[in-house]
Amino acid sequence: MRTIDLRSDTVTLPTREMLEAITQAGLGDDVYREDPTVNELQELAARTFGAEDALLVTSGTQGNLVAMMTHCCRGDEVLVESEAHIYYYEVGNMAAVAGIVPRLIKGDRGVFTGEQVRQAARGRDIHFPPSRLLALENTHNRAGGSCWTPAQMADAAKAAHEMGMKVHIDGARIFNAAVALGVPVSEYMRHVDSIQFCLSKGLSCPAGSMLVGSREFIEAARKNRKMVGGGMRQAGVIAAPGIVALNTMVARLAEDHANARRLVDKLEVLDEIVIDRASVQTNIVVADVSATGMTAAEFKARAWKKGLLVSEFGPASVRFVTHRGITAEDIDQVAMTVESILPACRSGACSI
Ligand SMILES: Cc1ncc(COP(=O)(O)O)c(C=O)c1O
């Protein structure tokens, strides 16, 4: 039985070209800024985003933390969507490490308006923590990979800037948004102060994320990265696949999006599987399985037994993520597996 792993796009393995690039990478001590491959990747990332500078960090979590530490002081407040990864999945690091408190904004599929930012921001009052940063997530993971358009982002960012805040994008999957909407990532960068994006998700690198922003921001972020243990030495071994990724792996994300849509088409015919089709804009499909009579944990356990790995995403929802290595035929197999685990399919061999 072949296992089909749709838990996350983080399970992608590096390509042969990436592995070769690692063996050939020029190396040096990056804390001394002497790793030529890291320097090349940082220049490439800055150019790609139309930013002044960029910084390699170990992970998306570290990139977001370093960005928050750089934009904020202890006791400041960050405005963030109520199910944003920064708030939901990063171990409370904003509070535990950076001393920052969150103020939550409820988004519509992860997206909110400038007016909501204005309403959430604190005025000057001796009782309030200063609202220092707005953090947006694009694509929004828990909302099912939904995208902010550059215009929506401009609206929220303008409001934040007018209120004296900086704006950071958790763009772990920002290239998925850019490919889905057919816009360059620089269209996002020009409205905000910093972006974190992951090399290690759909772009298929083994590790690493990048921060992009102004020269001044990146200089301060470099010091904070050191503080949280992210000063790496011959980090060219991480940067080399990153260069391959930025040069060759972005456009193919469209295949993952097509496979996600194919999955929705196939699953939608099953009455027990409920998907908010409008949220499926990139490579993530979140399905409500409550009508199957199973909890998400039971659904996942049954799927895993049949070689289909999915993530439990809530008491009644599961997440499927498409990525490099998953084919259209795999998607058809996934749909058959899902049908076969539904209690209604007693024979275990159903029709899709
Ligand atoms: C939206 C988002 N932000 C940040 C991260 C954190 O990235 P990492 O796992 O590299 O720390 C993830 C990881 O899944 C994510 O989905």
207 and 320 inside one domain = no
106 and 234 inside one domain = yes
264 and 232 inside one domain = no
162 and 141 inside one domain = yes
Please give the Cα distance from 77 to 90 (Å, whole number). Answer: 16
269 and 128 inside one domain = no
Tell me the CB-side half-sphere exposure of residue 135, using CA atoms within 13 A: 34
Given a cut of 90, is residue 311 above it in pLDDT? yes
60 lines ligand 1 (CB under 6 A): yes
Given a cut of 70, is residue 349 above it in pLDDT? no
Tell me the pLDDT tens digit for each residue of 36-90. Answer: 999 999 999 999 999 999 999 999 999 999 999 999 999 999 999 999 999 999 9
115 assigned to some structural domain: yes
Boundary of a domain, candidates 248, 282, 310: 248
173 assigned to some structural domain: yes
Boundary of a domain, candidates 248, 264, 291: 248
Domain that holds residue 278: 252-341
258 and 160 inside one domain = no
Tell me the pLDDT tens digit for each residue of 214-230. Answer: 999 999 999 999 999 99
Residue 13 pLDDT class (50, 70, 90 cuts): very high
Predicted local confidence at residue 1, as pLDDT: 80
Using DSSP bridges, classify how beta strands 77-81 and 4-5 pair: parallel, antiparallel or unpaired: unpaired
Best of 89, 137, 311, 321 to mutate for ligand 1, by most ligand atoms within 8 A of CB? Answer: 89
351 assigned to some structural domain: no
140 and 169 inside one domain = yes
Please give the Cα distance from 68 to 131 (Å, whole number). Answer: 12
The domain tally of the chain equals: 2
CATH number for position 51: 3.40.640.10
223 and 299 inside one domain = no
112 and 261 inside one domain = no
211 and 269 inside one domain = no
294 assigned to some structural domain: yes
Predicted local confidence at residue 348, as pLDDT: 52
Average pLDDT for 160-171: 98
85 lines ligand 1 (CB under 6 A): yes
200 and 163 inside one domain = yes
What is the distance in A from the centroid of ligand 1 to the CA of 170? 8
Residue 124 pLDDT class (50, 70, 90 cuts): confident
Cis peptide bond upstream of 322, omega within 30: no
61 lines ligand 1 (CB under 6 A): yes
> Ligand 1: which atom is nearest the Cα of residue 61?
11
pLDDT more than 90, % of the chain: 96
Query: Which candidate, 309, 200, 214, places its Cα nearest to that of 245?
Result: 200
Residue owning the nearest CA to atom 5 of ligand 1: 60
Predicted local confidence at residue 351, as pLDDT: 52
58 lines ligand 1 (CB under 6 A): no
Given a cut of 90, is residue 345 above it in pLDDT? no
- Residues 6 or more apart whose CB falls under 8 angstroms from that of 273 comprise 267, 287, 288, 289, 291, 292, 338
CATH number for position 306: 3.90.1150.10
Entry pTM: 0.96
232 and 334 inside one domain = no
224 lines ligand 1 (CB under 6 A): no
166 assigned to some structural domain: yes
Given a cut of 90, is residue 344 above it in pLDDT? no
207 assigned to some structural domain: yes
Q: What's the distance, Cα to Cα, between the start and end of the chain in Å?
A: 19
Boundary of a domain, candidates 248, 283, 315: 248
